Structure 1
């Protein structure tokens, strides 16, 4: 009869050790104090059909005929990201991904992209996705992961429209706050 009791004791002890190791790895997050923070500027120059030398993005679909807000238009991009508002500044990163307009009643886009850092300051990627409700002054998108210096990063990228030139060019100010850093 001692064998089943010993097995139970060992099993409970093993469960205790596993639970302690999981709890010791758990990180605490403070929403008021990110572990890393960047202010960056995203520059998007949509191909207008003729100026291919300056374009950094292109429509991959045509909008549907539903609504008046280019509903269904999909844009792929490889955009420069700088530390200031000047698009000719040396890039701090490249933003590669897509956005598509997903509302029939107002301008709203859904973004999914990777910020690629390859400098002496930072190496790695940050993955960002979420809804960009353009009529709002600021909008939060999720930082859902990363690699290199940003391994498994989690946080928020707050967008603010910084400049718009019709449908050809826009600049977003991105306030990126990482709350989970390794």
Structure 2
């Protein structure tokens, strides 16, 4: 009787091992992409705009309650004017930390050139902006990055306290 019960279990395990979902979980491609994210709040053509703020935001040391919408350039190098454009970061970030500057980030990296043209990578997570390295989850993607998972590491390259403009180096580690 025990041997007879083991046969269906073995068939179920063999079918699961052969399924596309399990193949994607254990294998697939791994891609590393390094790029620069340019968050421009100043000047006549900002790429990040405030869309909401709570009453407490005005007195908060961390801008708690502030909501921004972004359409930020992504480039190969840190110089926005002379670097090869790779695409746009489109989404939102919310000042979600009451006691420290920490953002809830929800954005899509939309690739608009090169071998990833037309593909996207979805990034979501906590970004404690004054930490040297911040890690957020890659939660999906489209095109070349369909079914993507992985992580993104962010390191601030430059940040202007007066204007709020920032250049951040992102390293994406993607399984797809």
TM normalised by structure 1 equals 0.81
The structural deviation recorded for 1:14 is 6.2
Alignment of 1:96-115 (within 5 A): 96-115=90-109
Partner of 2:164: 168
5+ unaligned residues in a row in structure 2: which ranges?
A: none
Q: Which has the higher helix share?
A: 2
Aligned with residue 52 of structure 2, among 58, 61, 64: 61
1:126-137 aligned at under 5 Å gives the runs 126-137=121-132
Q: Which runs of 5+ in 1 are unaligned?
A: 1-8
Does the aligned pair in 1 maintain the 2:35–2:76 contact within 8 Å?
A: yes
Deviation at 1:63, TM superposition (A): 4.6
For 1:85 and 1:174, the matched residues in 2 are separated by: 11
CA separation in 2, counterparts of 1:110 and 1:120?
29
Q: Which moved more, 1:37-46 or 1:66-75?
A: 66-75
Q: Which has the larger radius of gyration?
A: 1
- Is 1:80 paired with 2:80? no
1:28 to 23, 26, 31: 26
Give the whole-Å Cα distance in 1 for the aligned partners of 2:145 and 2:152: 14
Contact 2:50 2:68 in 1 (8 A): yes
- Asked whether the 8 Å contact 1:64–1:73 carries over to 2, the reply is no
1:6 corresponds to which residue? none
Q: Which moved more, 1:18-27 or 1:150-159?
A: 18-27
Question: What secondary structure sits across from 1:121 in the alignment?
Answer: helix
Deviation at 1:107, TM superposition (A): 1.0
Query: 1:116 and 1:41 mapped to 2: Cα distance?
Result: 13
TM-score of the aligned structures, taking structure 2 as reference length: 0.83
Could you tell me how far 1:91 is from its partner in structure 2?
1.6
CA distance in 1 between counterparts of 2:79 and 2:60 reads 34
Matched with 2:33 is: 38
Equivalent pairs, count? 164
Q: CA RMSD in A?
A: 2.2
